[in-house]
Amino acid sequence: MPLAPGSLSGKTALVTGSSRGIGADTVRYFAQAGANVVINYRNKAPRAEKLAAELRGLGVEVLVIGADLTEPESVQAMFSEVERAFGSLDVLVLNASGGMESGMGEEYALQLNRDAQVSVLQTALPLLGNGARVVFVTSHQAHFIRTTPTMPEYVPVALSKRAGEDALRELIPDLEDRGIGFVVVSGDMIEGTITATLLERANPGAIASRRESAGKLYDVSEFAAEVARAAVDPIPDDNTRLIGDTSSFAGE
């Protein structure tokens, strides 16, 4: 249990891309700690509703909202619904990302991993008060892309996620003026994620190779626990929480 039961009672948390995987486990940890939660999904409504039913069983309020984060009107509608339901937001986890999906234009990775992240945060600002926390979820392969090469299949995603991280970091002074904390959580390859599966398909043996190099890879639940903790733990001086082995990544 990453968070103490009741430690988030009376708080509201929204996790983007939370109908499955890391996002779903993160929002589950928040609910277990007593927070009212917002489950955001793009096109998996039944899965989101199933998770919501489970979390309502914990005695918290759960709002399920479908939104395309690359569409500003959709993002605005999502936060308008959050405001109607809860009035404010205490935790915003920017978890949704992508870029390896087939059939998407080459600009899609930047639209989702940079532009949409900034848009979501800026649209949420009126709901985030003093003491609120924003968490951006990324990977070591993206965080260190300027100094450490990654697999060719992942380069467009890594570059776009790093661009998103940089754009969000530029907002830190304004966030701090508002009393809002900001933390980047970077993890190694995570066992069982869609990204890991796609990378393994494109580059067979990639996961096993990285596991051997790192000594251990976190699974979805373990990494989600770290994301949840980032929403409550003291903010590191560099606003960065590195999860898992980083010995093979060169610092900037």
SS3 156: helix
pLDDT digits (tens, 9 = 90+) for 138-175: 999 999 999 999 888 888 889 999 999 999 999 999 99
pLDDT score recorded for residue 206: 66
Sheet bearing 12-15, strands edge to edge: 62-66, 36-41, 12-15, 89-94, 128-139, 181-187, 240-243
Nearest to 44 by CA among 162, 194, 176, 197: 194
CB 12 within 8 A of CB 86: yes
pLDDT score recorded for residue 214: 62
pLDDT score recorded for residue 169: 98
pLDDT score recorded for residue 185: 97
Contacts of 221 (CB under 8 A, 6+ apart): 25
pLDDT score recorded for residue 219: 84
Average pLDDT over residues 172-197: 86
Does residue 58 register a pLDDT over 90?
Answer: yes
Number of C-beta neighbours around residue 9 at 10 A? 12
Binning pLDDT at 50, 70 and 90, where does residue 203 land?
A: low
Query: Model-level pTM?
Result: 0.92
Which one is predicted more confidently, 120 or 217?
120
Whole-angstrom Cα distance, residue 12 to residue 129?
12
Binning pLDDT at 50, 70 and 90, where does residue 242 land?
A: very high
Please give the mean pLDDT across all residues of the chain.
90
Which one is predicted more confidently, 221 or 66?
66
CB 10 within 8 A of CB 236: no
Does residue 98 register a pLDDT over 90?
Answer: no
Alpha-carbon dihedral sign for residues 17, 21, 26, 28: positive
pLDDT score recorded for residue 104: 62
pLDDT digits (tens, 9 = 90+) for 211-240: 666 667 778 889 999 999 999 999 999 999
Does residue 56 register a pLDDT over 70?
Answer: yes
pLDDT score recorded for residue 232: 96
Estimate to the nearest angstrom the gap between the alpha carbon of 103 and the chain centroid.
23
pLDDT score recorded for residue 209: 67
Which one is predicted more confidently, 244 or 25?
25
Contacts of 126 (CB under 8 A, 6+ apart): 79, 83
pLDDT score recorded for residue 190: 73
